[in-house]
Amino acid sequence: MAIDSHMHINSIVLNDEKKYIDLINNNSAIESVINVGLDLKSSKESINISELNPKFYSSVGIHPLYIESQNLEVLYDLADNPRVVALGEIGLDNTKNNFNEQKKYLIKQIIIANELHLPIIIHSNNCNKQVIDIFKGYVKPKYGCVFHCFQPDLEDLKYLVSNGYYISFAGRITYKTAKKSIEVAKIVPNDLFLIETDSPYISPEPLRGETNETSNIKYIINKLAEVRQSSYKEVEEITNKNAKRLFRKMN
């Protein structure tokens, strides 16, 4: 059974949340999912869902594209819940030019995660180096970190791996253009990678363009097994173990 370490069931893209929750609850190939918050509203909704559905865990945080007038103090209360396993997704995104604001939110949220002894889930859109600079210059995540949907770069990978940080593979690795991701997938250590769908976004091949859902995690596992000359079962077992090591509250 697989763990989808990053998805958004209460995304505005899905207008039938109940249907997608049931699909996961009834799918015997899925052990659990982490339903990731993007702002305070979606974080609260995520907690409600995970309190009602044992396969669901939550992550709470403010995504860099949604930082406007969000009260970060609320995160202390939200994260103080047995179903909340991480702070995220937080990070930097270069499609908006409010970089200084984004950095302030990221730094503050890493500090909160450290105070709460929680790992963080990083969103980095063409900003790996800038996120790493924040780790080096301001504050390092003390209780673990994963770069979700990792944008491949061997130098960044080296830094992350040497600090015991994780990377996560999503649908992108199944694309024909994913040469660099495949290079990264070949060399990342067994104990430092996760899998995710990021559903309802970025569907894997052969379903590109369709609404993504957690059952599609199988395409990502298959690709990793092929690239790492491993078996489906082994990739599933390794990534389960890794997810439970990073997100300790899942145990």
Contacts with Zn ion, residue ranges (CB under 5 A): 198
Q: How far is the CB of 109 from Zn ion (least distance, A)?
A: 15
Measured from the CB atom, the residue of 198 and 236 that comes closer to Zn ion is 198
Measured from the CB atom, the residue of 156 and 198 that comes closer to Zn ion is 198
Q: How far is the CB of 202 from Zn ion (least distance, A)?
A: 9
Cα Rg of the chain, angstroms: 17
219 residue type, one letter: Y
Q: How far is the CB of 63 from Zn ion (least distance, A)?
A: 8
Measured from the CB atom, the residue of 93 and 198 that comes closer to Zn ion is 198
State how far the Cα of 2 lies from the Cα of 110, in Å rounded to an integer.
28
Among all residues, whose Cβ is closest to Zn ion?
A: 198
CA distance readout (Å), 119 to 23, 133, 182: 28, 18, 26
Residue given tokens 């049931």 in the structure block: 22
Q: How far is the CB of 93 from Zn ion (least distance, A)?
A: 11
Measured from the CB atom, the residue of 32 and 228 that comes closer to Zn ion is 32
Q: How far is the CB of 137 from Zn ion (least distance, A)?
A: 26
State how far the Cα of 116 lies from the Cα of 190, in Å rounded to an integer.
27
Among 97, 89, 103, residue whose Cα is nearest residue 137? 103
CB atoms within 10 A of CB 246: 25
State how far the Cα of 124 lies from the Cα of 39, in Å rounded to an integer.
16
Contact 239, 195 (CB under 8 A): yes
Measured from the CB atom, the residue of 99 and 201 that comes closer to Zn ion is 201
